[in-house]
Chains A and B, each alone.
Chain A
């Protein structure tokens, strides 16, 4: 369990990134910080492993104030995955994954064996183990990044827009992989994104932030969608634009779901012909669209909205 107690962060240049932030992040659940640039979401994330220290307030992990812990030791016990993988370019994939265990004294042979297993875990072929990061695709690099984050078997996994730089199809794949991993491993995941659909897909608890790290609303995706706390949240999740209000339209090819702007949002699961389903959805998402209000599940792969993050 991670607890923020009245945390404030003011940077030396005077920017107030986070103000009086208090929140409990439950264990073994995924908490997503979502907000626009300047909402302090990354600052909040980086305070958990002391990459940033709060100006005032405190953060506890399982009851211990992390301000009293040595930063290097703390970081080695927390998995960290960042946007552009952050892999060491001069080390092979397997050595990147084995880096932190070896810093902690795990023998090289054992660390490499564990690293190979982690490649399996994140769905990477072992034949890639001896490649260098620059020889991998963006999606593969992110998987290696996740494997490295898991290498010390941490209870906590911090993910800073890990899928922000990959194309929508690969992003959808990686999101599904993360959901699978989370089902298997049950880590306390803290995830930062500016993509509300990604937040709703991955988050057990979603925290919508305004500028200055102020909480606009905290809740499950369903709670937030059903009852946006105010106009800001409604606008952010797209409820005000009717983006979340879907209706059925009948075409000669079958029935499709359309939002209030007339954009194609998806199909009803099991309620339409196979040809229409294949046309409106990618394969990964067919299994993940069980209900009408599942906007986030359906739309990241919908051709009509490919270029629109929200």
Chain B
């Protein structure tokens, strides 16, 4: 028995494209879930990261918390939240937001911290206000690293979002859990392939975005590995 051929056959079976469990629906659900989680995590992590990066305050706490967040097993958290709020979308959104916060937070504040202090000092000395320094200097110069954080977070969410189907009827994870229950490995593998394709697509989009937001004039020689700064600070 060739699982891979069966999976491909499953992917191209027209009956899998109709009804509430249609592949198209599940892909859109998965994508929507991923993007909304990204928004939740960004709303929390970006302002916090900018504040830490701009003021230099609370960095130790942020590094510690983000590190702790990274080590939380998502399935465990998902189960824990689901046990207290019940079956539904709240638990997966909460669990995956927690998963996505550390890379975005790290991207946001390392983006600010990677900026040459002398550049900011000079901007202040020529008469830029604090708000102007954030908007016209720190923000544009930090975008590449922030985008790196968003990219990393997106990949983690899109892959882990399959877990959402554990407690809710949503996303490509449905195929995995249904397939597992029915011993339908073609469906499981087909679902996995869809998740991988979606991840590759998003990765491609972010690669382009990340190139676009690097200001010309600083395109060369800037660090893009957000965790390099993170582990250095954590030490």
Write out the residue numbers on chain B whose beta carbons fall within 8 Å of the beta carbon of A92: 217
Q: A89-B141, A90-B215 are in contact. Are A134 and B220 (CB under 8 A)?
A: yes
In Å, the complex CA distance between A76 and B124 comes to 10
B122 to A, closest residue via Cβ: A86
Q: A80-B122, A82-B118, A84-B118 are in contact. Are A89 and B215 (CB under 8 A)?
A: yes
Contact B125 A75, beta carbon cutoff 8 Å: yes
Contact A80 B125, beta carbon cutoff 8 Å: yes
- Total interface residues on A, CB under 8 Å, equals 30
Confirm or deny: B68 has a beta carbon within 8 angstroms of a beta carbon on chain A: no
- Separation in Å of the A252 CB from the closest CB of chain B? 50
In Å, the complex CA distance between A84 and B140 comes to 20
Confirm or deny: B123 has a beta carbon within 8 angstroms of a beta carbon on chain A: yes
Would you list which residues of chain B between 101 and 126 have a CB under 8 Å from chain A?
116, 118-119, 121-126
Write out the residue numbers on chain B whose beta carbons fall within 8 Å of the beta carbon of A84: 118
Confirm or deny: A132 has a beta carbon within 8 angstroms of a beta carbon on chain B: yes
A89 to B, closest residue via Cβ: B218
In Å, the complex CA distance between A87 and B126 comes to 10
Write out the residue numbers on chain A whose beta carbons fall within 8 Å of the beta carbon of B217: 89-92, 132-135
A74-97 toward B: CB 8 Å interface, digit per residue (1/0)? 111100101111111111100000
Number of residue pairs spanning A and B whose beta carbons lie under 8 angstroms apart: 71
CB contact between B129 and one of A51, A72, A135, A149 (< 8 Å): that residue? A72
B157-196 toward A: CB 8 Å interface, digit per residue (1/0)? 0000000000000000000000000000000000000000
Write out the residue numbers on chain A whose beta carbons fall within 8 Å of the beta carbon of B137: 88
Confirm or deny: B14 has a beta carbon within 8 angstroms of a beta carbon on chain A: no
Would you list which residues of chain A between 48 and 75 have a CB under 8 Å from chain B?
49, 51, 72-75
Confirm or deny: A148 has a beta carbon within 8 angstroms of a beta carbon on chain B: yes
Contact A88 B124, beta carbon cutoff 8 Å: no
- Separation in Å of the A84 CB from the closest CB of chain B? 6
In Å, the complex CA distance between A46 and B218 comes to 28
Confirm or deny: A300 has a beta carbon within 8 angstroms of a beta carbon on chain B: no
B218 to A, closest residue via Cβ: A89
Confirm or deny: B128 has a beta carbon within 8 angstroms of a beta carbon on chain A: yes
Write out the residue numbers on chain B whose beta carbons fall within 8 Å of the beta carbon of A90: 140-141, 215-218
Write out the residue numbers on chain B whose beta carbons fall within 8 Å of the beta carbon of A149: 126
CB contact between A76 and one of B121, B127, B141, B215 (< 8 Å): that residue? B127
CB contact between A82 and one of B125, B129, B136, B141 (< 8 Å): that residue? B125
Write out the residue numbers on chain A whose beta carbons fall within 8 Å of the beta carbon of B55: none
In Å, the complex CA distance between A89 and B217 comes to 6
Write out the residue numbers on chain B whose beta carbons fall within 8 Å of the beta carbon of A132: 216-218
In Å, the complex CA distance between A41 and B218 comes to 32
Contact B132 A103, beta carbon cutoff 8 Å: yes
In Å, the complex CA distance between A92 and B123 comes to 15
Write out the residue numbers on chain B whose beta carbons fall within 8 Å of the beta carbon of A87: 119, 122
Confirm or deny: A99 has a beta carbon within 8 angstroms of a beta carbon on chain B: yes
In Å, the complex CA distance between A73 and B127 comes to 7
CB contact between A148 and one of B126, B129, B220 (< 8 Å): that residue? B126
Write out the residue numbers on chain A whose beta carbons fall within 8 Å of the beta carbon of B141: 89-90
In Å, the complex CA distance between A92 and B218 comes to 11
The 8 closest A-B pairs by CB, nearest first: A86-B122, A132-B217, A76-B127, A90-B215, A75-B127, A80-B125, A89-B218, A72-B129
List 6 other contacts, CB 8 Å, given A51-B125, A103-B128: A72-B127, A80-B126, A87-B122, A89-B116, A89-B218, A132-B217
Binding site for B on A (CB under 8 A): 46, 49, 51, 72-77, 80, 82-92, 99-100, 103, 132-135, 148-149
